[in-house]
């Protein structure tokens, strides 16, 4: 099966590589074209523009940073709308809000194309290993056709109904994750400032009912102030912002998530936007007394 792939960031690159490893022919495009080089060395073709990729491929997968990025490849010059038509499937796996997804869906389907949103849960390593959790919604026929793709990219895919439902589910999941990361950061700092060893806290947590892979994986690197990005902090803050907007829409009070968002914003202000989201720990730390 030949697929197009737009967006070769941390996730997109890993996912496109995985598809090629599993026998898919992949045509890639990235705004910064040089990022295509490594994929080409592994057998990918390059499309000059998003429109060129859609023209060539029956299915095009997209993995871009945020709503403006997702819209720009659709509505911009040489964008998707210039090529999408009946018989083409467009699968947006970026994390965006339901309104953005709906706007893109309406534009694609108005040209006769099929649209599926399919944001993912899982970070760089699960993307490399084909262990993502896929939260799809939109055109059920396209979902069924895309199963061989999802089987390679993920360990489980959900079909959640109408467009927007996948986006909403993803935002809820990441809202919880962002709040958990803040709780862990505060716990580590409180342990440290109380004269206890934060490593021991991680051991205690790992043995009890709060044990989880995220604390186990991120905790030790946070204690080394090592924040090589798997999930960039700027994207986590975007997800908190979009989840809080969903809360506004539905009159759901979310004081924990709102406080977590403030900490991610503070971390961005400290220049940590491109670090891993666990770098929020630095924003939570009590400054050293002079
Ligand atoms: N990393 C994770 O752990 C993870 C997990 C689940 C979901 N996600 C979600 O997956 C998406 C991608 O995440 P990522 O970690 O791969 O991000 P990333 O490494 O920052 O990559 C972002 C991609 O978006 C492109 N882009 C940004 N603005 C653009 C624009 N205006 N027009 C065209 N392309 C644009 C970038 O192109 P350039 O190379 O030219 O900058 C790059 O290809 C995000 O929505 C994120 O929230 C990430």
pLDDT grade for 50, boundaries at 50, 70 and 90: very high
Map out the domains of the chain as residue ranges: 2-162, 168-284
CA of 7 to the centre of ligand 1 (A): 7
Q: Whose CA is nearest to atom 42 of ligand 1?
A: 9
pLDDT grade for 152, boundaries at 50, 70 and 90: very high
Which positions are annotated as active-site residues?
Answer: 170
State the virtual CA torsion across 184, 136, 97, 112 in degrees, nearest 10: 160
Summarize the confidence of residues 172-191 as an average pLDDT. 98
pLDDT at residue 98, as a whole number: 98
Element (H, E) at 14: helix 10-21
Give the sign of the dihedral formed by CA 191, CA 195, CA 201, CA 202.
Answer: positive
Give the sign of the dihedral formed by CA 121, CA 124, CA 130, CA 131.
Answer: negative
CA angle (169, 171, 173) in 5-degree steps: 70
Q: pLDDT tens, 184-199?
A: 999 999 999 999 999 9
CA of 289 to the centre of ligand 1 (A): 38
Q: pLDDT tens, 192-250?
A: 999 999 999 999 999 999 999 999 999 999 999 999 999 999 999 999 999 999 999 99
pTM of structure? 0.97
pLDDT at residue 287, as a whole number: 86
Q: pLDDT tens, 1-27?
A: 889 999 999 999 999 999 999 999 999
Distances, alpha carbon 65 to alpha carbons 42, 116, 140, in Å:
24, 17, 25
pLDDT grade for 289, boundaries at 50, 70 and 90: confident
**Fold exhibited by the domain 168-284:** 1.10.1040
Q: What is the CATH number of domain 2-162?
A: 3.40.50.720
CA distance 93 to 47: 19
Q: Whose CA is nearest to atom 15 of ligand 1?
A: 10
Q: Whose CA is nearest to atom 44 of ligand 1?
A: 65
Tell me which residues have their CB closer than 6 angstroms to ligand 1: 7-12, 30-32, 35, 63-66, 68-69, 72-73, 94-95, 120, 123-124, 230-232, 235
């Amino acid at each position: 099966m030949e697929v197009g792939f737009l967006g070769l960031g941390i996730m997109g690159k890993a996912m496109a590589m995985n598809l090629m490893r599993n026998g898919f022919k992949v045509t890639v495009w990235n705004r910064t074209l040089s990022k295509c080089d490594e994929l080409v060395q592994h057998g990918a073709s390059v499309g000059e523009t998003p429109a060129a990729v859609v023209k060539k491929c029956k299915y095009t997968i997209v993995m871009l940073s945020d709503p403006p990025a997702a819209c720009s490849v659709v509505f911009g010059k040489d964008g998707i709308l210039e090529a999408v038509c009946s018989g083409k499937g467009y699968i947006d796996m970026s994390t965006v809000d339901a309104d953005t997804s709906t706007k893109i869906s309406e534009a694609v389907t108005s040209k006769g194309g099929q649209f599926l949103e399919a944001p993912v849960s899982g970070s760089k390593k699960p993307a490399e290993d084909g262990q993502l959790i896929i939260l799809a919604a939109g055109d059920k026929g396209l979902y069924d056709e895309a199963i061989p793709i999802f089987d390679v990219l993920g360990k489980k895919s959900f079909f959640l109904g109408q467009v927007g439902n996948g986006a909403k589910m993803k935002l809820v999941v990441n809202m919880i994750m962002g709040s958990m990361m803040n709780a862990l950061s505060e716990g580590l700092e409180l342990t440290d400032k109380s004269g206890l060893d934060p490593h021991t806290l991680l051991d205690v947590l790992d043995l009890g009912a709060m044990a989880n892979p995220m604390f186990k994986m991120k905790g030790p690197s946070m204690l080394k102030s090592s924040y090589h990005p798997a999930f960039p902090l700027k994207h986590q803050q975007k997800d908190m912002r979009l989840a809080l907007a969903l809360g506004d829409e539905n009159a759901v009070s979310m004081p924990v998530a709102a406080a977590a968002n403030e900490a991610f914003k503070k971390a961005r202000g400290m220049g940590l936007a491109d670090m891993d989201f666990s770098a929020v720990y630095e924003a939570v730390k009590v400054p050293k007394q002079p």
